[in-house]
Structure 1
Amino acid sequence: MLPQPAASSGNGVQATVPVLASLNLAETLRFYTEHLGFAPLLEMDNYLILQRDGCELHFWPCNEPHIAENTSCYVRADTESLYADFTARGLQVAPPIVQPWGMKEMYVIDPHGNLLKFGEPA
């Protein structure tokens, strides 16, 4: 059983925000908005911020594929709801499965190799 997060006292850490590599920010924007339902918060030549349901992802331009291909982030989410939404948007993704560590997870690899793990306690 995973420990539950402690109640916030209003101080200290408020959120974690992954900063992922993008080999092409326009392609990243298109994939995340069309297939994953994210919306742009900031679009610049050298930085991109996307958000969905309070989740924020940042992207920086990178010319080295091995960086993105060796990067991942974990997003706490309702996996069944996201699975239905992603597949309705045309994304081919395996359905969520319960892992031995007690999390129900679904994995998405973006066009540049970043692995997004969507999970929730089983």
Structure 2
Amino acid sequence: MLTAIHPKLPMRNKRVTKDFYLNQLGFQEVGQTDFPDYLMVRRDAVEIHFFAFRDLDPAENYGQVYIRTDAIDSLYQSLLDRNVSIHPAGPLQAKAWGQKEFSVLDPDTNLLTFGQPSDSTVNPTPRLP
């Protein structure tokens, strides 16, 4: 039986990645912390792992994670309050596929998209006839 998934994303610098996820996004470090080439972070039920990839070219990184939440408005506001840079093409908005979403890029350009099902109180994207 499958019970969870923990995506692994590349990182160039553990200190920079750790600082971003802990101090900007509110995650906590978990697991063994003495491995220089590996990092594990968790926030609520979401856990993300990182592996060292020092030669990573951020412009060629296509790492992506979709994270579901049940409090998208307050999460979005908390990141704005921490001055987290929201992806230029990813501000909080209702999408045609029934999700309310926003996105951020981490220091290695891994794309994190946060989403919650839209409801009737959200200003949905108009559907074309």
TM-score of the two chains, using structure 1 as the length reference? 0.84
| C-alpha RMSD over aligned residues | 1.6
Structure 1 unaligned segments of length 5 or more: list them: 1-11
TM-superposed deviation, 1:92? 2.7
CA gap 1:110/1:104 in 2 versus in 1, 3 angstroms: same
Distance 1:66 1:31, change over 3 A: closer
The DSSP-based 3-state class of the residue aligned with 2:23 is helix
CA-to-partner distance for each residue in 1:78-119, whole Å, 9 max, x for gaps? 221211111111213264111111111010100111000100
Contact in 2 for aligned 1:22/1:68 (Cα 8 Å): no
2:123 corresponds to which residue? none
Per-residue CA deviations over 1:27-74 (Å, capped at 9, x if unaligned) read 000011111000101322111000001110100000222597211011
SS in 1 for 2:20: helix
More strand by share: 1
- Tell me the equivalent position of 1:100: 96
2:109 aligned counterpart, secondary structure: coil
State the TM-score, normalized to the length of structure 2.
Answer: 0.79
1:40, 1:51 within 8 Å by CA — same for their partners in 2?
yes
Which residue of structure 1 lines up, in the alignment, with residue 65 of structure 2? 73
- What does 1:1-122 correspond to in 2, within 5 Å? 12-42=1-31, 43=33, 44-62=35-53, 63-65=55-57, 69-77=61-69, 78-93=71-86, 95-122=91-118
Please tell me whether the aligned partners of residues 24 and 61 of structure 1 are also in contact (alpha carbons under 8 angstroms): yes
Aligned residue type for 1:53: D
Paired-residue identity, %: 33
Cα distance in 1 for residues equivalent to 2:80 and 2:59 = 27
Q: Determine which structure has more spread, i.e. the larger CA radius of gyration.
A: 2
| 8 Å Cα contact 2:85/2:104 also seen in 1 | no
